[in-house]
Structure formats: C-alpha cells, structure tokens
C-alpha cells in the first residue's frame, strides 16, 4: 500500500467520477462538496427540471464538471441505461452516493398501505437495485469502488411515533450495506452508510409549530445537524482515508443514538 500521510492526499476526490442519486437536500449539498474538491458529478433527480436547476446553480458557483439526468430509481431499466451512458462517456464510476429518500407521517394503526409500500420501494428496493447494478456493471469490472448509502438514525432507534415504515426501510438499508460490504470485499468494493439525525431538508419541511425546537432540545449539542456536517463523512468514505473501512453505519447525530440521560431535555442535574 502506498504511503500517504498528508490529509490533502488521503481525503482527495480529485478526478473521481461520482454518481450521486437524489440531488436535493443532503444530495445537493454533497454535490457541491464533490465539485469543490475536483470530482466530476453525475447527479440524478426525479424530474428533468430539478436537474437543470441543480446544474444551473452549480454553474453559477463556477463548477462545470456536472451533469444531471432524470431517474426513477425504482426502475432497474432506467438505472441500467444511465450506468451504460456514464460508462460510455467516462469509462468508470469511482463513487456511488445514494441519497434518495421518502417519508410520510401517520399514526401506525392508520397508515395507508400504499404509503407503506411506497416507502419500502423508494428507500430500500431502489437502493438495492442501484447498488447491485452499479457494482455489476461498473465497479466489479473496474476492480473496485466506493458505495455510500444515506441511511438514518431512524434505522438504529425508534425516533418518532408516526413513521414506522420509514424506520423499517432505513434499518433494511443499513443491513443491506453490511451484507454487501461482506459480499463485495473480494472485488475491492467498499460499502458504507451515513446515518443522519434530523437535518432541515425537503424531507422534513412539512413539520410545523415548535417541532424543530423540541428536536433541538433532544440533542446534547443543543442544535440540529446542518448540511455542512455531512461533507466530512462523505469525503472520508469516498477517499483513500477510508481504505480499510467497509460495512460501517456512520452516525452523524451528535451522540443522539447513544441513549438518553435522566432529565436531559429539562436541563435536570442529578443531586448527590
């Protein structure tokens, strides 16, 4: 193994070809992070219009190594067509970051069947199809690659009383990540997962009232996570800095998933 001691070498994504699916919220922010560090990004969105808007914004920031394509990630034929297009133009996919996600809130006993199925289909099945196709068509023939799935603390702990299918879908995504890490180690493919806590993105913008103030009080660092908090973990898992890391569910949650202490939200201090 080549000796690398400087951070700019270890964490470099310069020249890498990154396929990033789900170009909104965390995905959009990480798209800019990859571009800022010299990578080429092929981003996907649900619609052509969203993709064009993303590319226009990145061009305004001075980045031109970006393309965007509409993609229904639950359709394996569309995934295969996109991967073939990328391989024809660039010859490889070095990094896959899957940031596609969907959520819906409802009391468990009233949850619509179609929403349960939709959440599993988008959050888990689409990720399974994407991971499988990119690995088979691009990374196995190339002798390796890096795959990052965006999971959630919801896949580790029950974080809400109204989104049980979301929690189940993210738990499945985490376990798939671990399984593929084992299966594809022989191909030099690293498969990891970033599990965010609450972060203000379009996925949670429907919450009203003092919801986010209550969420803030649940966190020991006295704040919600911010999009900036995910840049370091993404660059780490995309680069040589993580050259022996695979199967990791990397929580970015300010210790939220570690547990709860007595009276934390009220600022209670135990008396001795």
DSSP class per residue in 99-166: ---------GGG--HHHHHHHHIIIIIHHHHHHHHHIIIIIHHHT-EEEEEE--GGGTS---SS-HHH
Strand-by-strand arrangement of the 189-196 sheet: 66-70, 40-45, 17-21, 95-98, 145-150, 189-196, 249-252
Residues contacting 190, CB < 8 A, separation 6+: 144, 145, 146, 147, 181, 237, 242, 245, 246
User: What is the CB-side half-sphere exposure of residue 164 using CA atoms within 13 A?
Assistant: 9
Look up residue 210 and give its two tokens.
């003092």
Over its C-alpha atoms, the chain yields an Rg (Å, rounded) of: 19
Torsion angle (degrees, nearest 10) of CA 262, 264, 266, 272 = 50
Positions marked active-site: 166
Sign of CA dihedral 182, 184, 190, 194: negative
Contact between 255 and 220 under an 8 Å Cβ cutoff? The reply is yes
- CA 268 to CA 270: how far, in whole Å? 7
């Amino acid at each position: 193994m080549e000796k690398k001691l400087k951070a700019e070498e270890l964490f470099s994504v310069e020249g890498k070809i990154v396929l990033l699916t789900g170009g909104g919220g965390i995905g959009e922010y990480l798209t800019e992070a990859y571009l800022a560090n010299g990578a080429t990004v092929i981003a996907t969105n649900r619609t052509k219009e969203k993709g064009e808007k993303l590319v226009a914004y990145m061009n305004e920031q001075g980045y031109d190594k970006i393309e965007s394509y509409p993609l229904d990630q639950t359709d394996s034929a569309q995934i295969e067509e996109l991967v073939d297009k990328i391989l024809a133009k660039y010859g490889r996919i070095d990094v896959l970051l899957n940031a596609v996600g969907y959520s819906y809130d409802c009391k468990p006993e009233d949850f619509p069947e179609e929403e349960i199925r939709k959440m599993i289909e988008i959050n888990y099945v689409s990720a399974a199809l994407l991971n499988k196709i990119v690995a088979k068509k691009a990374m196995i023939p190339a002798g390796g690659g890096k795959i990052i799935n965006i999971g959630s603390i919801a896949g580790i702990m029950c974080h809400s009383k109204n989104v049980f299918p979301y929690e189940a879908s993210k738990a499945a995504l985490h376990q798939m990540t671990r399984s593929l890490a084992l299966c594809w180690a022989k191909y030099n493919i690293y498969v990891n997962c970033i599990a965010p806590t609450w972060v203000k993105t379009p996925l949670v913008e429907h919450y009203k009232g003092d919801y986010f103030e209550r969420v803030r009080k649940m966190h020991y660092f006295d704040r919600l996570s911010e999009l900036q908090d995910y840049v370091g973990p993404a660059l780490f898992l995309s680069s040589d800095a993580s050259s022996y890391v695979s199967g990791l569910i990397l929580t970015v949650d300010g210790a939220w998933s570690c547990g709860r202490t007595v009276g934390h939200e009220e600022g209670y201090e135990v008396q001795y």
